[in-house]
Amino acid sequence: MGAHDLDDFRSGVAGWLSANKQHAPRDYGAICPPDLITEGVAWQKRIFDAGYAGLHWPLEHGGRGLTPAHHGVWVEECAKAAVPPVLNMVGLVLAGGAVMAFGTDEHKRTHLRATLAAEHVWCQLFSEPGAGSDLGSLSTRAERDGDRFIVNGQKVWCSGGRCSNWGILMARTNPDAPKHEGISFFLCPMDLPGIEVRPLRQMTGEAEFDEVFFTDVELPADSLIGPIHGGWGVGMAVLTNERGHIGASIIGLERRIEQMAALGRGRGLDTTQRQHLAGLVSRGIAYKAVAQTQGPVASTASSLMKLGITEMMFDIAMLRGDISGAEAMLEGADATGMLAAPGGRIAGGSSQVQRNIIGERLLGLPREPK
């Protein structure tokens, strides 16, 4: 596939988005919030009908059979148009990736096309009260009982749980195995008896996340994906895709750099504030340069990008609050930004976890003791 072909494809994508973006919800990022789920599902269906969903997925599973580079173009053009590229990253990236790589033929027939067409909407059932960034400490149990697993436990920080009809679940199937070896990976229908979903209210006043309780839930044995007790490998394989496409990161960074530069215009900033703002702009330019040196899909370097960008966004929110003064503590975008900013340092792997990954895999430092 030559650059000319990709240029033609990009032109077609840009034209379609220009003609259809009025039907899109606001650009919510990776996962559609509950208050936009109706618009998000309709947008995903429109994308699927136009042939832009699952561009690099096989034709037999509803995709276009194109390359990851085509998908990258789609994500980049959506970022430019300020529209979401997918309904839900959990479904299109994590669940879809797991089924594609580890699922049976029946799993693929059941889930892949339905996910692209927004008939199956997915949530992620990984984190627990005692196992967030340290996912290997999860304690939700799935005990084999004939042709089923009996699941008991609790999951938290589940994005869109109340709006989903399927979930990807990691649960412990061998409590006597070492920390990472007794975990299995399941595709879980969210309407099974014994599953209770409760919204989690954030300090911003929103409820974008849920907690999910499993009480003697009977999960069919064919819900298992990958080998029994081998779910850690499945989970880590799909999580490498979670942070998305570098091209979209570059576009997002460009916007943030512009926003930071605009922050100082027309305001009487003191010397300290000007120096802080200049430092943030410089960091943004440096992160953009790092992103442009990477391949089309982030790998270990995505930890560097994730750490740098989320820490930068936290500092931006704090600086905006400092510039706005007392008003930033009351209401409006600055107040919401300050309250929401710490979450970015936690979601998708905390900043501490990213530092461990960078130290071990990029710098060659000794691994953290297990």
- Write the pLDDT tens digit of every residue in 304-345: 777 877 888 888 888 877 777 776 666 667 777 777 777 777
CA distance 210 to 201: 8
pLDDT over 90 for what percent of the chain? Answer: 46
DSSP 184: E
Confirm whether 106 is a catalytic residue.
Answer: no
Residues 62, 48: contact at Cβ < 8 Å? yes
DSSP 7: H
| Average pLDDT rounded to a whole number, residues 291-297 | 56
Task: Judge whether residue 120 has pLDDT over 60.
Answer: yes
Residues 76, 248: contact at Cβ < 8 Å? yes
Catalytic option among 242, 327, 331, 368: 242
Task: Judge whether residue 99 has pLDDT over 90.
Answer: yes
Alpha carbon 301 to chain centroid, angstroms: 16
Task: Judge whether residue 116 has pLDDT over 70.
Answer: yes
Helix (H, G, I), strand (E, B) or coil at 54: coil
Q: Which residues in the chain are classed under CATH 1.20.140.10?
A: 246-362
DSSP H or E segment with residue 9? helix 3-20
Q: Which residues contact 336 (CB under 8 A, 6 or more apart)?
A: 204
**pLDDT, tens digit, for every residue of 139-189?**
999 999 999 999 999 999 888 899 999 999 999 999 999 888 999 999 999
**pLDDT, tens digit, for every residue of 27-39?**
887 778 888 999 9
Residue type for 179, please?
Answer: K
CA distance 177 to 223: 21
CA distance 304 to 290: 9
- Alpha-carbon distances, residue 299 vs 66, 134, 237, 278 (angstroms): 21, 19, 11, 29
Burial of residue 368 (number of CB atoms within 10 Å: 0-12, 13-18, 19+): exposed
pLDDT band at 253 (very low <50, low <70, confident <90, very high): low
Q: Which CATH superfamily is domain 246-362 in?
A: Butyryl-CoA Dehydrogenase, subunit A, domain 3 (1.20.140.10)
Residues 41, 28: contact at Cβ < 8 Å? no
Task: Judge whether residue 351 has pLDDT over 70.
Answer: yes
Q: What is the pLDDT of residue 202?
A: 77
Q: Which residues in the chain are classed under CATH 2.40.110.10?
A: 122-229
**pLDDT, tens digit, for every residue of 16-69?**
999 999 999 998 877 788 889 999 999 999 999 999 999 999 999 999 999 988
Q: Which CATH superfamily is domain 122-229 in?
A: Butyryl-CoA Dehydrogenase, subunit A, domain 2 (2.40.110.10)
